[in-house]
Structure 1
Amino acid sequence: MSNAESIINVIDTFLDKFSLKTNKLTKQDLISFIEEKWAEADDEKYNIYQAYIITGRMTNEYIWAKDFPNMKRWLDMNDRHSASGRNEPYIRNYYKGQCCLECGNEEKALEYFNLCYNENPDYIFTRAPFCYEFFNKHLENPRELPKQEEGQDDYFEWVELEEWQSFFNEEESEIQCEILFDDDEEEEFREEHENGIEYLENNQTEILESILTELLKVYPDWQKDYGYSEEDKPDFMPDVTTIKDFANLISPTSIYVTSVFKDDLPYIGFLFSCSWDSEHGLGVMTHKNRIVEIGGADTAFLTWIAEKDNNKSK
């Protein structure tokens, strides 16, 4: 009987715990653990999709470590997996070339890019600029590459919330911010958008307290819904008694300023990573410091939630 599925599940759980804010393990601990467990699993692992994800993760770990021999070894294991056959050879060769280039081996990268180019001459030029710019320099007849268009204003691409940084013990105080325009073709930054950013910056503590207070209300029911075992519950969804307990369980990742306005202020959504659901995260839609809805990640950017609330008062 194959042992692959159970071992891959062990690795998967380890990766989930490694991603927690309370994690004290190092990158080397991660690499050593996965290398050991991977070696224990039989070849049925090459038919388990989550194992395919793990090979990609380990490839990236060795890219970051600039360890080409081990990166290439995991790249080859990625290629052995049955899921790799879903992609055309030129796509797989492009991916290998990108990994080699990121790991610092230009000679090997060029070899794979040439294989990709020979089968599909256009594909590489639709991918990452640093890859096709590198490859283009080595062509006998280089292509004329399109000039990068200067982007429009970033419209508050980042918002600085120092009080949030302090609460969550984050390294940076800036949080990614996106304006959700009504019409993507006619992006009009309005005074109400700016009012919303200013309100957030000036009332960041009150807004955060409102979010966490609402989370504290729904959290016990969510614990039941997720149903973590007694063994895993302390790591992923422990009991909490105050809003301060959430500091190690969630982190803000994105802010969405909608184009739904009320009292000259926009509805604003907040996206958080969370320990109990690494895939879907936590989303909150607000107006000023009032919580409109709390739920999964999409709650932060579904503008119909804001529109529905706004229509109630009309």
Structure 2
Amino acid sequence: MSNAQNIIAEIDTFLDKSMLRKSKITKQELINFIEQKWQEADKEKYNIHQGSIFIGRMINEYININDFENMMRWIVEMDAHSLSKKHPAYINSYYNGECCLECGNEEKALEFFKLCYAENKDYIFTRAPFCYQFFNKHLENPKELTNKKDSDEEGFDIIFELKYWQDFFKENEKLYYNLLDEDGEIVEKPTTDQQNGLEYLQKNQEIILRNLLNELLKKYPDLQNIYNYSEENKQDFMPDLKGIQDFLDLLTPINFYVTSVIKEGYPYIGFGFSCSWDSEHGLGVMTHKDRIIEIAGADIAFDTWTAEKDLK
């Protein structure tokens, strides 16, 4: 009987623990754990989708410490995974070349890029600029390159400072927010009502956060029952709490959305958090002024239907 699924689950849990705010797991301990567990798993690990994610994680870990030899060893593991076998060879060659270039080995990167180019002459020029610019210098007839706008520039992420929130969560990072139009699309400039909401949030940030955490504290026992962590993992991911201060180690505010749903001249605003008990879906809270409308997964933060339902 295969042991791969259970070992993949162990790795997943360990990774989740390493990302907790209170985690003391070092990068080297993380690398050592995955190395050991990966060796223990049988060949079925190459057929499990999550396995390819762990391989990619290890490739990046070794790139970050500039360990080319181990990075290449994990690239071989990626090539052995069933997911890689579903891709055209030129896609795998490009990926390998990008990793080699990031790890500082230009000679090996060029080797992979040439394989990619031989099979598909256009693909590399649709990928990361640092890769195709490097490769283009080695072509006998270099391609004329045009300046491309990074698609990540679209979206109008705007920085917003909530000093009380930063102090509470002991975070220096400012929050990003998006303004949503009537179709739920991100826009650049706030309406008068949305600007009212931003000003209200700035002036009332303490009471909003306290109301939010108090409401979450009431709901927390039900969430514990839903997630039903084992006694072994409960203390790490979803421990019993005495008060809102205990959320410090469990939550991190990420962003918020100012919707175009308006009530009494103020918009509904949704907040997104990462949370220890659900690294995949996170936590979302929809609010109106200092009133908490709903708490659910992170997608509730931009769910205008929830806001519109509250209007009725």
- TM-score by length of structure 1 reads 0.91
* Structure 1, unpaired ranges of 5+: none
Whether 1:125 aligns to 2:117 is: no
Letter in 1 for 2:96: K
Partner SS for 1:139? coil
Quote the Cα distance in structure 2 between the aligned partners of 1:19 and 1:156.
24
Q: Match for residue 53 of structure 2?
A: 53
Partner SS for 1:221? helix
* 8 Å contact from structure 1 (residues 181, 187) kept in 2: no
* 8 Å contact from structure 2 (residues 162, 175) kept in 1: yes
Q: Structure 2 vs 1, CA of residues 150 and 127 (structure 1 numbering), >3 Å: closer, same or farther?
A: closer
Q: Structure 2 vs 1, CA of residues 177 and 33 (structure 1 numbering), >3 Å: closer, same or farther?
A: same
CA RMSD of aligned residues (A): 2.2
Q: Match for residue 303 of structure 2?
A: 302
* 8 Å contact from structure 1 (residues 176, 253) kept in 2: yes
Quote the Cα distance in structure 1 between the aligned partners of 2:44 and 2:124.
33
CA displacement, residues 43-85 of structure 1 (integer Å, 9 cap, x when unaligned): 2322222222111111111111111111111111111111211
Q: Match for residue 263 of structure 2?
A: 262
Q: Match for residue 104 of structure 1?
A: 104
Quote the Cα distance in structure 2 between the aligned partners of 1:36 and 1:30.
10
Q: Match for residue 217 of structure 1?
A: 218
Quote the Cα distance in structure 1 between the aligned partners of 2:119 and 2:234.
50
* 8 Å contact from structure 1 (residues 195, 264) kept in 2: yes
Q: Match for residue 252 of structure 1?
A: 253
* 8 Å contact from structure 1 (residues 256, 269) kept in 2: yes
- Count of residue pairs brought into register by the alignment: 310
Q: Match for residue 115 of structure 1?
A: 115
* 8 Å contact from structure 2 (residues 21, 249) kept in 1: yes
Q: Match for residue 87 of structure 2?
A: 87
Partner SS for 1:246? helix
Partner SS for 1:20? coil
- TM-score by length of structure 2 reads 0.91
Letter in 1 for 2:62: Y
Partner SS for 1:235? helix
Partner SS for 1:232? helix
- Percent of residue pairs bearing the same amino acid type: 60
* 8 Å contact from structure 1 (residues 159, 176) kept in 2: yes
Partner SS for 2:232? coil
Quote the Cα distance in structure 2 between the aligned partners of 1:273 and 1:290.
21
Letter in 2 for 1:262: K
* 8 Å contact from structure 1 (residues 161, 173) kept in 2: no
* 8 Å contact from structure 2 (residues 155, 186) kept in 1: no
